[in-house]
Chain A
Amino acid sequence: MTSTPTAPAVPLPAPRSAGCPFAPPPAYTEAAAAGPVTRADLPGGTSCWLATGYAEVRTILSDHRFSADVRHPNFPFLLPGRRKIIAENPSFLRLDDPEHARLRRMVTGDFLVKRVEAMRPDIQRIVDEALDRMTEGRTEADLVADFALPVPSLVICLLLGVPYEDREFFQELSRTLLSNTSRLERLLEAQEELLDYLEGLTARKRARPEDDILSRLAARDDLTLREAANTGILLLVAGHETTANMISLSTALLLDQPEQAARLADPAAVPGAVEELLRHLTIVHTGLPRVALEDVELGGTTIRAGEGVIAMLSTANRDATLFGGADHRPVDELDLDRDARRHLAFGFGVHQCLGQPLARAELQIALATLFRRLPGLRLTPGHEPAFRTDSFIYGMRSLSVTW
């Protein structure tokens, strides 16, 4: 029998608290305090389960009894219109195995740890050149527009074979696709525009291949142009918007905590520091949706076959039993010396972020270089940082800095 949780249903997506831009919305923290699995109300009048506990989130994301297939009629959506858009052109992120594995394995070779390690000199050059441009003849800049967004956009353009000159076009469409306030018609248009663009690009790569991911996808005879374009959209959107927001949010957070920022001067501390920033910020802040394929006992509750569930990464990443400990600051605070490697910021299970080695390398190089080259970096007086709250990816619209 399904037990009835006593906690009130949380409306998704819930707002953050004013004055606490780096903390998860209070409604999620309260739900986590009430139990690892509670209820949530979705926009559009439906409801689903909300998993906030670390163990429960891990189970939902890695157990084959929970599906990521958006074509399931009960799949939970935070924006009701997204069902039509995503279900018609699902990338492998939105499919279960074996369809998922077939498509994912076509691009795993490009994100091998050794491949990414070999890209470090390129990433360092891209970071250095972005900082050169940002600081040349100036004493003030928007860190989002002049550093956080260009760096990962240049890297993913290089890998995919997308012309960087087209950045304004794909950056704007990406933001539209990731916004949870976009109108349905605008979402459909954005999806079509980006699909047409990537299909056209892939077709040109088929005729004149280069050394990039789109060319390799274009050369396959077991992949349609539309499938290649769907994979291309996933890699392009996920490849720049997430890392850009991690760079800008991390910078804003570290400027407020200079004793923590100082840890980045130690090269040996940088990888661990980035894991802690990933844990603390958890930018996939509206959680990951799944639907149960069988009845599953979880966190004292029975989730029935066909019921939707949102796995909330941000609360799982603040589990004090995993990330606390007497030697460290409380889990709600940033502690760059904490062992945060068990975080779920990249998700878990077979859908865990394919680009995570690349994201780690970009974040390590970008943040360490930024704070090393600009030791006087600070917020521009009189300019408030502007956070991006209406997106599935938490982030920043602008961050005015001086040095």
Chain B
Amino acid sequence: MRVSVDRDRCCSSGMCVTNVPEVFDQDDQDSLVRLRQTTYRPEQFADLRLAAQLCPGGAITVTEDEPATVDG
């Protein structure tokens, strides 16, 4: 799974950090989203999908790179 963030769309709601703090951070300087990780374990996939759905600005995109092995 790949995760990308569009900082231009970030509105600093903090939803991603609230729900998946090990992956997402808010920048101390501009308050916009930053990724803490670039590779993800399968047990994080559900949380990452949720973070993308909950982002009010649509700033988080999750790409499933191997659909055949992904649950649900």
Which residues of A does B touch, CB under 8 Å?
61-62, 101, 104-105, 108-109, 111-114, 116, 341-342, 346-354, 356-357, 360
Answer whether residue B12 sits at the interface, using C-beta atoms and an 8 A cutoff. yes
Contact between B19 and A354, CB atoms less than 8 A apart: no
Nearest CB of chain B from residue A198's CB, rounded to whole Å: 23
Contact check, A360 vs B31: say whether CB atoms are below 8 A apart: no
| Interface secondary structure of A, over-half rule | helix
Q: Contact partner of A352 among B13, B30, B53, CB < 8 A?
A: B13
Contact B53 A350 (CB under 8 A): no
Q: Which residues of B contact A101 (CB under 8 A)?
A: 11
Chain B interface mostly:
loop
B50 touches A341 (CB 8 A): yes
B14 proximity list for chain A (CB < 8 A): 111-113, 116, 356-357
User: Considering the complex of A and B, which 4 residue pairs feature the smallest CB-CB distances, nearest first?
Assistant: A108-B12, A352-B56, A108-B31, A113-B17
Minimal Cβ-Cβ distance residue in B for A350: B11
A residues in contact with B18, CB < 8 Å: 113, 357, 360
| A354 and B50 in contact, given A112-B26, A348-B56 (Cβ under 8 angstroms) | no
Once the chains bind, are A353 and B26 in contact (CB under 8 Å)? no
Could you name 8 residue pairs across A and B whose Cβ atoms are closer than 8 Å? A101-B11, A111-B14, A113-B18, A347-B56, A350-B56, A352-B56, A354-B13, A356-B15
Q: Give B contacts to A, CB under 8 Å.
A: 11-15, 17-19, 21, 26, 28, 30-31, 50, 53-54, 56-58
Tell me, rounded to whole Å, the shortest Cβ–Cβ distance linking B71 to chain A. Answer: 17
Q: Is the CB of B58 within 8 A of A354?
A: no
Contact status of A342 and B54, CB under 8 A, knowing A357-B18, A360-B18: yes
CB distance from A163 to the nearest CB of B (A): 27
Whole-angstrom distance between the alpha carbons of A346 and B50 in the complex? 17
Q: Beyond A352-B13, A357-B14, is A112–B56 a contact (Cβ under 8 Å)?
A: no
- How far is the CB of B19 from the nearest CB of chain A, in Å? 7
B63 to chain A, nearest CB (A): 20
A174 to B12, CA, bound (A): 26
Residues of the A chain whose Cβ atoms lie less than 8 Å from the Cβ of B31: 105, 108-109, 112
A348, B57: Cα distance in complex, Å: 8
Residues of B within 8 A of A356 (CB): 13-15
- On chain A, the residues within 8 Å of B28 by CB distance are 109, 112
- Residue in A closest to B24 when the chains form the complex, CB atoms: A113
The reply to whether B54 and A350 form a contact with Cβ atoms under 8 Å apart is no
Interchain nearest-CB distance for B56 vs A (Å):
4
Contact A111 B12 (CB under 8 A): yes
Least distance between A350 CB and chain B CB atoms (Å): 4
Determine the chain A residues whose CB is within 8 A of the CB of B15 once the complex forms. Answer: 352, 356
CA distance A354 to B56 in the complex (A): 11
Enumerate chain B residues within 8 angstroms of A350, measured Cβ to Cβ. Answer: 11, 56-57
**A104, A352, A356: residue with the most chain B Cβ atoms closer than 10 Å:** A352
B residues within 8 A CB of A348?
A: 56
Do A341 and B19 touch (CB < 8 A)? yes
B19 cross-chain contacts in A, Cβ below 8 A: 341
CA A352 – CA B58 in complex, angstroms?
12
Chain B residues near A113 (CB-CB < 8 A): 14, 17-18, 21, 26
Distance A349 CA – B15 CA, assembled complex (angstroms): 12
Contacts of B13 in A (CB 8 A): 346, 352-354, 356
**Which of B13, B18, B31 has its CB near the most chain A CB atoms (within 10 A)?**
B13
Q: Which of B21, B50, B56 contacts A62 (CB 8 A)?
A: B56
**B residues less than 8 Å from A342 (CB atoms):** 50, 53-54
What's the least CB distance linking B59 to chain A, in Å? 10
Contacts of A352 in B (CB 8 A): 11, 13, 15, 56
